[in-house]
Structure 1
Amino acid sequence: MSERKVWFITRPERDPRFHAEAIRALAEATNQFTTKWQGNREAHKHFEKVLASRGLKRNNISNDGSGGRTWCAMLKTFAYCYIDHEGNVKPTKVGQSLINGIKEYENVKKQILTLQIPNAYFLESGFRPKFASAFHIRPARFLINLVQSSELDYYITKEEITYFVLIAQHDNQIKNVIKQISTFRLSNEEDKEALRQEIAVEYDHRARNDHAARDYFQAHSDVAHTFMMLCEYTGLVEYLRGEAILKIDPDLNKEAKEVISYYDERYPFNTRYLISSERMAQSNGLDVDSYKFNKFGKIMPANNQLKIKNKIESVINRIPNALELSNEELLSHFIPVFGPREGKKIVNDLIIEKPELTTIPSEFVEIYLGELTPSNFEKETLKILKAIGFNVKYQPQINGTATEIEIFVQYGEHCGIIDTKYYQSGFPLSQNLANYMGSEYIPNYLNYGNSPLTFYGYITSAKYTGEKKLQSITTLAKKLTGHHIEGFLMQREVLIGFLDFCLENNLTIEQRVHLFIKAIQNKGILHFDTQDLFI
């Protein structure tokens, strides 16, 4: 199937003024999100009925519940809800705020201005075709930035949006799109038609014929119309429907730019789609009263020189939980880069203001989930385990002799050994490796820490097999040591997603470690049970 190269948005309801009513209807239809959603066509049809009873859609209920799924898809697009690992639809913080009637306008405005491609819904397996991998754009912000351009006389037409804006894939293409639109405006009708035809054929994969441009416009102009309505809702631009123009009063342009600048600082591009669609939805679905950790957090250097600032930012973005660290702990990250003298001065000069909410820097997410060497994978994994709350030891030695185990962790009476496996094509836990863990690693490290070893695990860069071998390791180790020691397999996406959840929800070190240890049950860890934390 061809990749999607043009912006798209699910739009059973184009007007964002009714987003709050839609999520409330979903809450009612699912008995306050307790009814299983995935694969439950009766629940989907019931959602349609509730929408119809509230006057949000026509009273024509589909036979298979497709209408309900479409409305739910719209709500997922704006991160008001998501599907959890059990197939239930769950509200995000912003979705729950809308249900409770809290700051409805500001919360919907925030979701419009933080909407991005890719996002949680666009990455779901059921969304087809997928967007091209190059997409890295916030559509509403991009469109509003265009309208704010004096080169375009502070307006843009629906036709220009359809042909030139909807094909933009990156936030940094503003100048290029302005240039394309300016050229289009100065062209004669023959040249304009040639431009329309060229775009239609390249981006919509249609046959080259006399109707390609017209077909393209008919297929995508309603998406342009929907984004024009979304942008108008923010109050930053005006949609003149009769003229099919999105515009801004030049006298209000400065104020609008300040709002966009504020959003750029507070809500940078979110990379948690690399972790999972669920984690992405939870992060992108924060309400306006939750502080989103931006790429520099609230840590700012007293020295404002741009090059030094960028270098300091680079160091901080390699730390998953910088805001939790003391000056002494931060020093260990700055000294290797700046040396002891300058490193100490920089750390002492940092102005640290604790935000209401901290999360892992997006740059760290991209690094950890990107291509790494096996050695770097070990070291980045070590950082995450340390940030969770464990005391960590890298490549621990027994009697001064180096061994093959990468990481030893300890918290209170809990001690564990962790083997990292960086295999791009997936890690198969073979019987040979299982025997080695049970007969060598576990006996060797049994009494390495302050307490006997209580668990072991494998953290992998990709999918794994051999989950049943974990029990055989436990059985072998007990035979040799007399201790019952259980283990786990876990992909790196699950590990970093767990830390991100802990930071976002302000969990204590004790709570984090408790959840981690609780999940170790001789099986692969796909998610962590956090429900009892919020009861």
Structure 2
Amino acid sequence: MPELVNHWWITRPKRKLTLLIDILRVFFAVARGEQWHGNRALQRLFEEALEEAYIKRKGDRREGSGSGGRTYASWLQAFGLWFADQQGRVWPTWAGQDLIDASSPGPIMLHQLLAFQYPSVYSRAARVSDRFNGIFPYRLLLQFLADEDLGHRLTHDELGLIIATEMDSISKYDLVKDKILGFRGLDRRIELASAILGDGWERIYGHPSKLRDTAHTMFCHLEFVGLATLVDDGTWALPDDKLYDLNEMLSGHLPPFINLLTTSEEDFQRKFGRGPHHQKDTRNMLGSHTVSAADAEAKRVLWTYYGIVANNPFIPEEAIIDRVSVQTGISMSKIRAILQKVSKTKPSNDEIALRYLELARGGREAAVAFEQATAEIFGPWGLGFESEWIGAHPNHPDVRVLNVAQAPYYAGILDAKAYEGGYDLPRDHERRMYDEYIPAHRHMKRDEHIVPLRWFGYVSSSFGANFDRKLTRIAQRGGVSGFAISADTLLALVQRHKQRPLTEDEFCDLFSVNREVMVDDFSTA
């Protein structure tokens, strides 16, 4: 039997919550109304769906058992987003349903983090030690962040090595706080681990890197709901404007403790997963629209549909159906029939915009999704170009853009960088653009036309100092002008283009400035 986990623990197939709604939609497209536990075929199908949506990296699956799918399902269960009924069938909790119905995710996930407790259905399955029973980890973490004596900040070491290992009772708060203050002068991490955890710490708690990873994951969750921000490597702080709100929240009405010993797993998950908008969950789920487990074709239609609409707020329904047909090989009439049988919600433009901004700061986990979403934004229902995501091919930029609707034909190439702290264009990336990408795409053939490369560009959450100088250097060495544009400015550009379309000359001028494009560059054009 596996050993008990002797510290706070949350599984982390993704450290950030940026893609949580995408994963949740795919999960319910595959598993809603079906028996999950022990159903290896369904678990493998979920894993395949995640890979096809580029949420999970493709690769060899361990023994073909669907273990990757089970990890993601456990992650969703840990936040109270689904439950299994007495027959083991999967259904969304109210919180899960509200998320896939395009409700604002921040308040819902904040409620779920505040309600996250030990023990739970998840922590019992993960074998978290019983000594943590009765605590709410995220509430305690927020209490430490709200503490003026700690400067409203914590490090990975302080959370992972001290709080997560020792905070098994609210009565220990002052003791643990004093320990944090006492060890803030230590510099070397291995010394810190040894000094705090004592001899034999690795045998008791596991390697310190595991504890720091858990800490980083929990901070990322608080960042998603706006209650933590990374101030430097390994140090997180409570945003200045959130202190009053947090104190009000922690002293107000909070989700109650649920006694798992006297509550069935189904009832526990239903209560845990009520979310902020519902007082109780008495739904009869058997009347819900479902797709049979045997109908893998219909499930594929659903997860492909959600994968497409997640990245593009502008694409019309018929174009979605056409694209689903191309990707699955299923006729459009059959796709329409499948979609009519199930309840589905197309995300709103505001939800998609928020998701895109989150992806831009999402790091490696969100890189592919950000690249694909950027391709869609430059595409026919965004800025109006013909665009293609080519980031999966080695030695290629992330996105190729073509203007072939009318002469003069031209092309552009883009790199989309999902960097948490902004993108500063490292020297090797700079070289790759002028030495590899531009020469390889300088002249592209489309039908009978030779399409010249007119510009290159970068899209990210923000850009580092001297970025304009680096763009100019690439333009000089590559012989093609370029630009950079932040994710929020790009969304503003799309809205401007929808109000009054930019001409081809205006686009070329805008994307050839050899600096970062600002809203003022097109707001008065």
Q: TM-score, normalised by structure 2?
A: 0.49
Q: TM-score, normalised by structure 1?
A: 0.48
| Higher relative contact order, structure no. (Cα contacts within 8 Å, ≥ 6 residues apart) | 2
Which structure has the larger Rg over C-alpha atoms? 1
